[in-house]
Chains A and B, each alone.
Chain A
Amino acid sequence: MATTLDLHTHSEASEDSRAPVEAYLNWIRLRHAERPLDGIVLTEHRQFNRDADYRHLEDKFGVMVLRASEVETNYGHVLVYGVNEDMLRRFDFANIRLDAQELIDEVVKMGGLAVPCHPGRPNIGLYEHYEKRPPLENVVAVEVLNGGSRKGEDERSAELVRRYGYSAVGGSDSHLVSLIGLCATRFAGAIRSVDDLVRELKSGDYEPVDFRPRRKPVPHAEAVQTR
C-alpha cells in the first residue's frame, strides 16, 4: 500500500514557525483532495523532541505524525530520520557546524538515514558546497522538491540527482499552517512508524510529488494614488 508523507515540516517548536501541530493536521483534513497526505514528519530545527506525543491528534484527524530533525552541517542542512538515543549521545544537534560526512556515516550505523535538504539553496544547500569541495560519500537521497524553493533551486537539486544518482524526496519545509503538504514523497510501501520510514527511504522505491497550485499569471495592477 502506497504512503504519501510530507517529510519536512516545522511546528511552533522551531523558533521560526508559529504553526501548531493540531492546526497542521486539521488543514490536511480540509485540503485532502488537493494534498492527499497520509502523514507528516516534524523536522524541528536543531533539536529532537523525544517526549512529544501526538497520538491523540493522530486519532482525532486520521493523519500520521512522525518525528525527525533538521540539523546544520558544513555541507548545509540535513534531515535526520530515525533519530535515537545513540545519535543524540553521539551528536549535539544544536551544533551548527556538524561534520556532514561523519553525520551521514554514523547515522546509518545507528539505524537511521541522513538526507540533505533544499540542496539547491544558496549557502545552506549541497549544490553550492559541491562547487568548492569533494562530494559527500554514502548519500542515499536528497530533497529535490522543497515547498519554499525559489526559482531555479529545485532545478539545481535535480541536477545533483542526475549527476550523482541519488534518490529524490520532497517536503514542504512549511513554517506556516497553510503551506503544509505543498511538496511530499510518495512511497510504494506501507509506512506506519519511523522504522518503516527509514527502511523505505533506504529502498529507493519512492518519488517526490508536487502539490503546489499552478497560479494564473498575475494581472498588472494599477498604482495606488498617494498624496
Chain B
Amino acid sequence: MKTFADVHIGDTLGPVHQFVSKDQCRKYANSAGLPAARFTDDEGARKEGLPGIILPGNMSLGLLSKLVTDWIGYDGGARMIRLSTTYRVPVQPDHTLTFQGFITHTTEAERRAEIDVWIENEEAERLVTGTATVQFDK
C-alpha cells in the first residue's frame, strides 16, 4: 500500500505510452453520449475545421486519471481527490500518446501530494496539461 512517506517531490508517474485508436475514440464517444461528428466521423470533423476526429475532453481526462490511479494502486490507503485539465491542442486518435506526471509539492499536515500531469504526442507537444491532488490516509 502506498503511503505519504513513499512520496517524494520530483518522483515521476510514467511515462506511459499508449496507442489510442479511432475505433476506441468512437466507442467512448458513443457510450458517453457524445455522438458528435468531431468524435466519430473524420469527414464530419473536417467540416468543422479539424484534421479528423479528436478525442472527447472527458476521454483525455479519464486517461490522465488512470495514470494517477494506477500510480496510487488499488489496495487502499490513498485516493485522487482532484484533477483539473487545460486542453491546449486537440488530441487525435491513431497516435501513440505519452502520459506523464511529476510530484511537484506535498503538504505534510494534510498528507496530500500535488502532481503535474500531461499528455504528449509523438513530437513531444503537450496536448493536455493538468494537475492532480492525491490524499493519503497515513
A221 touches B116 (CB 8 A): no
* Residues in A1-37 with C-beta less than 8 Å from chain B: 16, 18-20, 22-23, 26-27, 30-31
CB distance from B22 to the nearest CB of A (A): 10
A218–B19 touching, CB < 8 Å: no
* Closest B residue, CB atoms, query A212: B124
B24: A residues at CB distance < 8 A: 223-224, 226
What is the CA–CA distance of A23 and B103 in the complex, to the nearest angstrom? 10
A220 touches B19 (CB 8 A): yes
Q: Which of B10, B19, B98, B118 contacts A223 (CB 8 A)?
A: B19
Interface locus among A67-75, A112-120, A136-144, A171-179: A171-179
A-B contact count (CB 8 A): 67
Q: Is B129 in contact with chain A by the CB < 8 A criterion?
A: yes
Q: Which residue of B lies closest to A150 (CB)?
A: B125
CA distance A120 to B65 in the complex (A): 32
Taking a contact as CB atoms under 8 Å apart, the answer to whether A221 and B19 are in contact is yes
Inter-chain CA distance A18–B130, complex, in Å, is 9
Interface of B is mostly: strand
* CB pair A221 B86 closer than 8 Å: no
In Å, the complex CA distance between A175 and B27 comes to 33
Give which listed residue, A18, A179, A221, contacts B96 with CB less than 8 A: A221
Contacting residues, chain A, for B89 (C-beta < 8 A) = 150
Closest chain B CB from A152 CB (angstroms) = 11
- Interface residue count on the A side (C-beta < 8 Å): 28
Q: Give the number of chain B interface residues (Cβ < 8 Å).
A: 29
Q: Complex formed: what's the CA distance from A31 to B104 in Å? A: 12
**Inter-chain contact B105/A221, CB cutoff 8 Å:** no
When C-beta atoms are compared, the residue in chain B nearest to A27 turns out to be B104
Which chain B residues have a beta carbon within 8 Å of chain A's beta carbons?
A: 9-10, 17-21, 24, 27, 84, 86, 88-89, 96, 98, 102, 104-105, 114, 116, 118, 120, 122-126, 129, 131
A-B contact pairs, 25 of them (CB 8 A): A16-B86, A23-B104, A26-B105, A150-B89, A151-B125, A175-B86, A175-B129, A176-B104, A177-B104, A177-B116, A178-B104, A215-B124, A217-B122, A218-B17, A218-B96, A218-B120, A218-B122, A218-B124, A220-B19, A220-B96, A221-B18, A221-B96, A223-B21, A223-B24, A224-B20
Residues of A within 8 A of B (CB): 16, 18-20, 22-23, 26-27, 30-31, 148, 150-151, 175-179, 215, 217-224, 226
Top 3 nearest A-B pairs (CB, nearest first) are A177-B104, A23-B105, A221-B17
